Structure 1
Amino acid sequence: MAFYALFCLACVLPVSVLGNAARAGTQACLDLTPQHGAVAQSSTSPYMLSVDTTSITQGGMVTVTLNATTAGTTFRGFLVQARCTKCTTADTAIVPGTFAKYTASDDTIQTMDCENDAMNSMSHKGNDDKTSAKFTWKAPADFDVTEGIQFRATVVQVRVTWWTDIRSDEITVTASSTSQVAPVLTLAVLSFIAVSSLLP
């Protein structure tokens, strides 16, 4: 009886560490590696990440599309994040922007919270076959404009067949008009005060 109980437990336990069909597991947040017990494919990925722009301002928005590149190719799972390209920790620096569904009624995708930042990742919902996924990403209003952004994805075709390090074009970020106006206004006010103090 004890042997039977241990056997049943051994059969059940691996399920909890191999990943969740409902979405990517949080253990994949940093290295974008699903815990499926299989290594990534070394062949060219049949998927691509495209963006509708390669230049935004602080707080700006990008539309991101994950597509199969060949007819008849589908995928079941994925995890997409915005990564910093000019940080000292570029390989692990998740940019704390905000993902959202492109179409509110889309029930095939969902946002994820990684490393305690809300909605900084996008993943699948359920394991139905898909040919594309479309969503938006909003940059932080205080994003450091000396750094760049690139979306990175891991895509699972079936449980043991997956590709990683799928990258979009790099996106540059420029200062928003409000962040440019603020220093000018501050300088103008200080100049006015300085001039006023000199007047009789």
Structure 2
Amino acid sequence: MAAYIVLLIACVQPALVLGYSTAAGPPACINLTPQHDGTIAQNSTPPYSLFVETNSIKQGGMVTVTLNATATDGYFEGFLVQARCTKCTTADTAIVPGTFAKYTASDGTIQTMDCLNVTKNSITHTSEFKKTSVMFTWKVPAGYDVSQGIKFRATVVKSLRTWWNTVMSDEISVTTSTCARSASAMAVVIGSIIASLLLSHYL
């Protein structure tokens, strides 16, 4: 009987570890809470930062984001990063459906993740290898509502029992794309030309 119990533990233990060592699990998508049994988020200031290269991005544009350990000897084993809407009525759960990608295609330490069945709207780790920094890109949706702001938010795991879920970037704004502005300006010009032609026809 004891042998069967040992065998059962041996089979179950890797599954529990894989819940955070090879990627964040689907249950973490909404509240950014790792599925580490019996653990809670740290309430101290996170020893990590999310740096965004710009505070303004155009619709359909791309931005580079870096997750860093800020302590001298700091590191992290796992993470999950998403773009969150800051002015939506459901800001705490509004994942912006942009597209994450590796900054370096050959980087085997990170991978994109589909949360709530939306393609590549999150990015996470591939193993529990200790990291001090990871870099990735994010593309804003072409039709994103420019009245809404965006912040990147992360859960960062130092160890199985030590993690923070309040790591956030500065807020970035989204502006109308050049193409959209050009199309709008062209529409105004065409409208003016048509109005002038109609007016001259009746004079």
TM-score (norm 2): 0.89
RMSD: 2.1
Are the structure 2 counterparts of residues 166 and 79 from structure 1 closer, same or farther at C-alpha, using a change threshold of 3 Å? Answer: same
Alignment map for 1:99-118 (pairs within 5 Å)? 99-118=100-119
The CA deviation at 1:83 is 0.3
Q: Which amino acid aligns with 1:24?
A: A
**Residue in structure 1 matched with residue 83 of structure 2 by the alignment:** 82
Contact 2:41 2:163 in 1 (8 A): yes
Corresponding residue of 1:32: 32
Residue 197 of structure 1: CA displacement?
3.1
Unaligned stretches of 5+ residues in structure 1: none
1:56-67 counterparts in 2 under 5 A? 56-67=57-68
Structure 2: distance between partners of 1:14 and 1:192: 73
Q: Which amino acid aligns with 1:197?
A: L
Change (3 A) 1:58 1:26: same
CA contact (8 A) 2:46 2:166 kept: no
Paired position in structure 1 for 2:140: 139
Q: How many pairs are equivalent?
A: 199
Distance 1:59 1:4 in 2: 58
- Give the CA deviation at 1:71: 1.5
* CA deviation vs aligned residue, 1:36-60 (integer Å, no higher than 9, x gap): 0111112221111111111111112
Distance 1:60 1:84 in 2: 16
Q: Which runs of 4+ in 1 moved over 4 A?
A: 3-18
Cα deviation code 1:45-99 (max 9, x no counterpart) = 1111111111111112211111111112111100000000011010000011111
Question: Counterpart in 1 of 2:188?
Answer: 187
Q: Percent identity?
A: 56
Structure 2 unaligned spans of 5+:
none
Shift of residue 194, structure 1, vs aligned partner: 3.0
Q: Determine if the alignment matches structure 1 residue 130 to structure 2 residue 125.
A: no
Whether contact under 8 Å (2:49, 2:169) holds in the other structure is yes
Q: Distance in 1 between matches of 2:85 and 2:77?
A: 26
- Using the TM superposition, give the Cα deviation of residue 6 of structure 1 relative to its aligned residue in structure 2, in angstroms: 7.7
Q: 2:175 matched to which residue of 1?
A: 174
